[in-house]
Each structure stands twice: as C-alpha cells, then as structure tokens.
Amino acid sequence: MSDPPHNDVVERLVALLERGGALFQLSSHAEVRTSAEAAEVRGTSLHSGAKALIVKSEAGFALLVMPADMSLKSSAARKLLKSNRMRFATPEELMTLTGLVPGSVPPFGSLFGLQTICDERLADNERINFNCGSRSRSIQMAYRDYVAVESPLIGQIARVADP
C-alpha cells in the first residue's frame, strides 16, 4: 500500500510545530516500509525512531509511541488505557481515522483527535525521528520539543524487542 496521492498531514504537522515554537528538520527520502529501513535511509539510530501505533481499546482509539527498536507491551498499554482489551487498528480503520497508510503516521495523536501515550524510553534520545504523513518524508526534532508540543501521557508501554 503506497502513500495516498495527497494528504494534508505534513502541512498540518508543520503548522502545529511552528505554532509550538519547535525547531525541526523536514527531509525527503526513498519510500520506506519498516522502522529499520527508515533509520538506515535517515542515517540515524533505530532507537531514535518514534514508532507510532494506533490501537483500539474499550475507550476507543489511541496513539501509542515508542522507540522503534522496541515492541509494545500490551499489558502495560491496556493498564494505561484503563482497558481489559486492546487491538491494533486495521489498515482500513487507520485510513478512516488519519487518511494515512501504515508506516506513515506521525507520533502526534492530537492531529487526529486521539490520545497520545509515549513510552518513557523515547526520552533516551535528545533528538527523535519519524515519518510525517508519508513513507518518504521525515521529521527530526528535539524530544523535549515533541513533549512540549504534543503533551503525551508518559509511561512504560514498550519492552525490548525479541531478536
């Protein structure tokens, strides 16, 4: 599934960051499908990638953010969501909620009216990197600016990924 022909997410995100006074770098690169490919094409560490996942719980949809080299710890995420059940959004639900395809969602649930929960270990990075509405466009920015603009709920929702 390729990027939709046009979406306004990049423009909306840039406007949000500028309003928030965040400094950031927007770049274009070859289309990527995985976090590992994104880190390689950007020339950055996988841990600095802000992986965004949309999940559905009993309370509705939410956006979860974690370092790209980590995996979701479902039990911890369900606890923060105050939910007994949780599942990943389907590609169709993702398109309906965001207008985006998997792998292109930025870590800003506020752009889509979603609660954002961020794993505390993303703070290991002075700067974070993420796709911003496209699989071929990325933003790099300071983690502290990300938190200041997005105000996510911070918790521990990730675990070290299996090899």
pLDDT in tens, 75-89: 999 999 999 999 999
Cβ-count burial of 66 within 10 angstroms (0-12 exposed, 13-18 middle, 19+ buried)? buried
**Residue positions counted in the chain:** 163
What domain range is 36 assigned to?
Answer: 9-160
At 138, phi and psi to the nearest 5? -130, 160
Asked if residue 6 has pLDDT above 60, the reply is: no
Evaluate whether residue 2 is within a structural domain.
Answer: no
- State how far the Cα of 145 lies from the Cα of 128, in Å rounded to an integer: 10
pLDDT digits (tens, 9 = 90+) for 18-57: 999 999 999 999 999 889 999 999 999 999 999 999 999 9
Asked if residue 68 has pLDDT above 70, the reply is: yes
- State how far the Cα of 39 lies from the Cα of 117, in Å rounded to an integer: 22
At 142, phi and psi to the nearest 5? -70, 140
Q: Are 103 and 2 in contact (CB under 8 A)?
A: no
Residue 23's CB is within 10 A of a number of other CB atoms, namely 10
Q: Are 22 and 127 in contact (CB under 8 A)?
A: no
CATH number at residue 137: 3.90.960.10
Evaluate whether residue 119 is within a structural domain.
Answer: yes
Residue matched to tokens 């961020």: 118
Evaluate whether residue 3 is within a structural domain.
Answer: no
Residue 45: CA count within 13 A, CB half-sphere: 11
Looking at every residue in the chain, the average pLDDT score rounds to: 93
Evaluate whether residue 110 is within a structural domain.
Answer: yes
What pTM was computed for the model? 0.93
Q: What is the pLDDT of residue 3?
A: 46
Evaluate whether residue 76 is within a structural domain.
Answer: yes
Total of domains in the chain: 1
Q: What is the pLDDT of residue 48?
A: 97
User: Taking the C-alpha atoms of 88, 118, 37 and 71 in order, what is their torsion angle to the nearest 10 degrees?
Assistant: -60
